[in-house]
A and B are shown apart, each in its own frame.
Chain A
Amino acid sequence: MQQLGPERPAMTFDEVSLERSKSFVQALQELKNLRPQLYSAADYCEKAYLHSEQKQMVLDHLKEYAVRALVNAVDHLGTVTYKLTEISEQQSSDISTVELKISCLSQQILTCQTFADKEGLRQQQLSSRTTPRHKKHYILPSPIHKRLENISNLPKDNRSSHVQSMPLPQSYGVLTPKTLSWHLASDNSPAPSKESWTSLLVEDSRDRNVTMNSLPPSEHGVPMSLSSHLQAAKGNGTSVKWKQDEMEAKKSLSEFKSFDKSVRGEISQPPPRSKNIISALFPRNKNFKPKRVPVS
């Protein structure tokens, strides 16, 4: 806003700039119009000096006119340069204002970007804390994990003997991976096997305090291991332990096709979900003749 005088009303910034530009154009036009005027004045003075009798008077007038014309030209030129300088200064100030505004915008965008980056990092950290870090292949549920621990506490002799005596299936190798692969296979297996496995888990969760002392691993489930189980069970007489072992052995046997059909037919039947599993198992096993394997 700028007030040019008491008579003129207040003008906006755009109106002031427009007025300045108009005055500059007008001054420039007047400067351009001086050239023909000076040329016409020069022609008149030349003719007057040649044709007039009072040459000295013409000469004096010519000198005065030349001085005035020069002063007028300088005045016009000064006006034009002043207005042009004023306009250029106004434009430079406008550009500096725009530059400040652009720098403000860039700073705002930079702060938004930094905020977004920090927010993304924070969310990433939160997601890393909540989401599991390891593959599902290496993650086991707690009761299975405890069973593995119990199996690992077995004496090594029993394990090695069963490893050497029994032909291992293709999917088995070391003790722990066998369990994992077995579990994965159990996840993908049909419903009855899963139900039997859940029943095992339920029983395992109930009997968590029971520990296995001299039991071979379940993944060596073949008729030979079952016979060893039965012999050991008869020797020790711990009903709860053999309940778990027999369930595991039955489970392992039911999933492999390489075993003997007769044994599979006897053992592949899923055990009932009732608590009297031993009573259901022992009548069946009377018909089965286990092979005796020397255990060192």
Chain B
Amino acid sequence: MARAGGMTNAVNVGIAVQADWENREFISNISLNVRRLFDFLLQFEATTKSKLAALNEKLDILERKLEVLEVQVSSATTNPSVFT
């Protein structure tokens, strides 16, 4: 009887260990996916920052070009006799 009880306990311990290992595997999978999600977010942030910086630079260049054009057009409007 004692031996049967001992074997039952061993089986239960074995089952518990196996369940624990499954849980740990599940948790590791979840944490791995969360880390991959975090890496994706970091990469997405860097890419978006570089794209926004490029857009900002382009906008600055366009703004300067527009200022130059505005000055040229204003000078042309003030001296219309040049084009007549």
Contacts and interface: CB of A to CB of B under 8 A. Distances in A.
Interface of A: 59, 63, 66-67, 70, 73-74, 77, 81, 84-85, 88, 91-92, 95, 98-99, 102, 105-106, 109, 112-113, 115-116, 120
Contacts of A99: 58, 62
Nearest to B40: A77
Contacts of B54: 92
Contacts of A120: 82
A92 B51 contact: yes
A86 to B, nearest CB: 12
A109 B51 CA distance: 31
A67 B73 contact: no
Interface residues of B, number: 26
Contact of A70 (B30, B58, B72): B30
A95 B55 contact: yes
Given A98-B62, A102-B62, A102-B65, A70 B52 contact: no
B26 A63 contact: yes
A109 B72 contact: yes
A88 B52 contact: yes
Contacts of A116: 82-83
Interface string B35-61: 001001100100010011011001100
Given A66-B30, A112-B76, A106 B62 contact: no
A105 to B, nearest CB: 5
Nearest to A102: B65
B17 interface: no
A59 B23 contact: yes
B19 to A, nearest CB: 8
Given A77-B41, A88-B51, A106-B69, A67 B30 contact: yes
B44 A81 contact: yes
B33 A70 contact: yes
Contacts of B23: 59
A95 B82 contact: no
A106 B83 CA distance: 16
Contacts of B44: 81
